[in-house]
Amino acid sequence: MLIVMRPDATAQDIERVNDEIRRRGWHPHAIPGGSRTAIGITGNPGAVEPEPFRVLPGVADAIPISQPFKLVSREVKQEDSQVRVGDLTLGGAAIHVIAGPCSVESREQIISTAQAVKKAGATMLRGGAFKPRTSPYEFQGLKGDGLALLAEARKETGLLVTTEVKDTATLAAVADHTDILQVGARNMQNFSLLEAVGETRKPVLLKRGISATIKELLMAAEYIVARGNTQVILCERGIRTFENMTRNTLDLNAVPMLKALTHLPVFVDPSHGIGVRKAVPAMMRAAVAAGADGLIVEVHPDPPRAKSDGFQSLDFSEFEKAMGEVRAIAAAMGREMVRLG
């Protein structure tokens, strides 16, 4: 159920509605919009009768919502949500590119990569410190040292930083060193972690699980937003199919579908989405043409020697060339790409 307030509703009117919701044991969620406020209801066990709300002062309408996701839905909020990270606005007219290595490996590696991707037009830096790996015997990241190196790269270049948060135990440390918390594909339905990042006020980049439906991705975002953290960016990163020539099948269909269903910004990870180095630039272009608000791309100074994901990482010159192509597509889409000073 969504209570839509009139443009001239007062703060008192809104509080009155909230009280009515709480009196029933449910939870009100204010969703501020450009011209007026809407209030989502959660915690209700079943259908909610709209009548008792429609008669309250300041209420324009009470709309039953059929979809299992509510707060993230365009039905609840029509305008695009924008996520503020430092001085940047994600989900607005500008397209942003996050770039960097799969794993932080050394000071030299992360600083040189940060400088190169900044020069090529990226506005944010990625790099894994705590790495979830399929095998217990693979490189698991530099952990705390990796976080420190990311912070150093940020200081050096001014790039904002994102890194994956793997579990609740390391969440506080990761949140201290990073501008965006990345929730990886394997954790998309780790509900305890979703709730924990929902309790922070850090922006979250939520990756689609390898076999998650678009609807499940939206419900995972709902877990975070329901805890009060509305700063969520969704990320398509490829799904698992029978095709085995590519690492995953990048589902660009998800981009227009998500843009229609939700007000949250949508990013795409073409590196994991295809997993073939030479083909990554084509998918960067295609993602922007499909309507993505940004990209997250793996870049490494020397891909063949990367400790992880080298086969899908671009080197500096490949990335620079690809960024030029992306810029042309963005312009054709009527969108800008900002450059850090």
Are the C-beta atoms of 38 and 76 separated by less than 8 Å? yes
Residue 65 is a binding residue for a copy of itself (CB under 8 A): no
How buried is 341 (Cβ within 10 angstroms: 0-12 exposed, 13-18 middle, 19+ buried)?
exposed
282 binds a copy of itself (CB under 8 A): yes
Binder among 189, 335, 338, 340 for a copy of itself (CB under 8 A): 189
Read off the amino acid at residue 214: I
> Can you tell me the distance from the alpha carbon of 242 to that of 128, in angstroms, rounded to the nearest whole number?
28
Name the minimum Å distance from CB 241 to a copy of itself: 5
Q: Does 190 bind a copy of itself (CB under 8 A)?
A: yes
Q: Do residues 297 and 303 lie in contact, with contact meaning Cβ atoms separated by under 8 Å?
A: no
Distance (Å, whole) CA 257 – CA 323: 25
Binding mask of the shown chain, residues 119 to 158, with x at each position contacting a copy of itself by CB under 8 A: -------------xxxxxx---------------------
Place of tokens 């506005």: 123
The backbone torsions φ and ψ at residue 264, rounded to the nearest 5 degrees and listed phi first, read -80, 150
Phi and psi torsions of 321, nearest 5°: -65, -45
Per CB under 8 A, the segment of 17-25, 76-84, 114-122, 246-254 that binds a copy of itself is: 246-254
Please count the residues of this chain forming the interface with a copy of itself, following the rule CB under 8 A: 71
CB of 114 to a copy of itself, least distance (A): 27
CA–CA separation, 231 and 119 (whole Å): 27
**CB contact set of 45 (below 8 Å; sequence gap of 6+):** none
- Exactly one of 4, 76, 233, 255 binds a copy of itself (CB under 8 A); that residue is 255
Q: Which of 5, 62, 124, 286 binds a copy of itself (CB under 8 A)?
A: 286
Q: Within 9-28, which residues bind a copy of itself (CB under 8 A)?
A: none
Identify which range of 2-10, 106-114, 115-123, 248-256 contacts a copy of itself by CB under 8 A.
248-256
78 lies in the site for a copy of itself, by CB under 8 A: no
CA distance 258 to 262: 6
Q: Name which position in 126, 166, 177, 272 contacts a copy of itself (CB under 8 A).
A: 166
